[in-house]
Amino acid sequence: MTAPVRFALAGFGAWGRYHATAIQTNPDALLAAVAAPSPASRAAAAEAYPEARIFSDPMEMIQSIDCDVVDIVTPSHTHRTLAETALASGRFVLLEKPMATTLDDCAAIVRAAEGAGGRLAIGHELRLSSQWGEIHRIIASGMIGHPQYVLVELSRKPYRLGADGWRYDPARVGSWVLEEPIHFFDLARWYLAGSGEPVELVAYGNSHDPARPTLYDNFSALFRCADGAYAVVSQTLAAFEHHQTVKVSGTRGAVWAGWSGALDRTTEPTSFLRVFDGERLVDEHLPRASGEVFELHEEIAACVRCVRHGAAPIATARDGLWSAGLCILAEESIRRGEPINVAAVIDRQAGGKRS
């Protein structure tokens, strides 16, 4: 029997606990270690996973544990140091989005990942969704022709605080665009891959709380590719529940999909996917439920395939640089009140190479 792929998990907070469950319920994976700084989280990890070694310091865990994968699910400002250390140790790295909170940190992780043979996956699990991933397959099949317009829109309740309130601290979260709209930039760029990379971006945002003017409750951005195809990414955190919409129009047909739940992590969402190929309108049946909790299980399984069979990561370091880069440059567009030439900035960060 093949030995299970051994995961060392850095972070046992709200999302890290979902990672732990997804690892432990995968028959080909094993949770070998968990690191969390607070005694409360360490006690919870020890109780839930008595076989795992528990650490207070993720760096010490990386240095001392026998594992195949380092899974990084800590506050975003810690990602660069942990990712560089884990890559240097020779392990495969699953790094939660955002890759990092600054362009320089993202570029450093790209260099480290490429120096380590590309053994890093970014946690853009929406690509593995039976719904958002299916849209990519529909586009690739040519059913709607060449995509020219993408809308990814979310209306939801405010974000969770995070351990020690890091998610409401610009120095640690980077920005709120790096929290959820980053997934939408990744999807839109993925759907528009046939049009080349984004070249220009403009964004708007506002906050209803004068104490945090740069953490935007409402955010919208538009990027265009060189051939004129463009995407709109839009989010409001000043709403209720969790309701996401994707629309894609091509030269022949169009797609419209929606997902609704009381919470982002509900396991009983309502969802639909309607496809118009220019002649017929079809309501697609989703083969399995869509939602980030389900996609996380797919992400862990994909990571196992990377380690065992050298499969390509669901999203590479360069994908991570692009998704984080679009978010960071959207913030700059809001600050400057003008469009940004994103191609020039991200190409420079990527060392002049196209993905």
* Binding region for ligand NAP (CB under 6 A): 11-16, 36-38, 41, 58, 73-76, 78, 96-97, 123, 125, 162-163, 166, 179, 292
**Nearest distance from residue 309's CB to ligand NAP, in Å?**
23
* Closest residue to ligand NAP in the complex (CB): 13
Q: Which is nearer to ligand NAP, 186 or 200 (CB)?
A: 186
Burial code of 186-201, b = ≥16 C-beta within 10 A, e = fewer? bbbbbbbeebebbbbb
CA atoms within 13 A on the CB side of 160: 10
CB of 24 to ligand NAP, least distance (A): 16
Of the pair 168, 276, the CB lying nearest ligand NAP is at 168
* 149 or 168: CB nearest ligand NAP: 168
Sheet holding 53-55, edge to edge: 53-55, 29-35, 5-10, 69-72, 92-95, 120-122
Smallest gap, in angstroms, from Cβ of residue 54 to ligand NAP?
Answer: 11
Tell me how far, at minimum, the Cβ of 38 lies from ligand NAP, in Å. 3
Cβ of residue 13: shortest distance to ligand NAP, in angstroms? 2
Q: How is residue 101 annotated by DSSP?
A: S
Contact 166, 13 (CB under 8 A): no
Burial of 208 (0-12, 13-18, 19+ CB in 10 A): exposed
Those residues whose C-beta lies under 8 Å from the C-beta of residue 267, and which sit 6 or more positions away, are 289, 291, 293, 294
Among 200, 208, 235, smallest CA distance to 220 is for: 235
Rounded distance between C-alpha atoms, residue 95 and residue 353, angstroms: 22
Give least dist CB 30 to ligand NAP, A.
20
Backbone φ, ψ for residue 245 (5° rounding) = -130, 140
Q: Which is nearer to ligand NAP, 123 or 205 (CB)?
A: 123
Q: Which is nearer to ligand NAP, 18 or 204 (CB)?
A: 18
Nearer to ligand NAP (CB atom), residue 188 or residue 275? 188
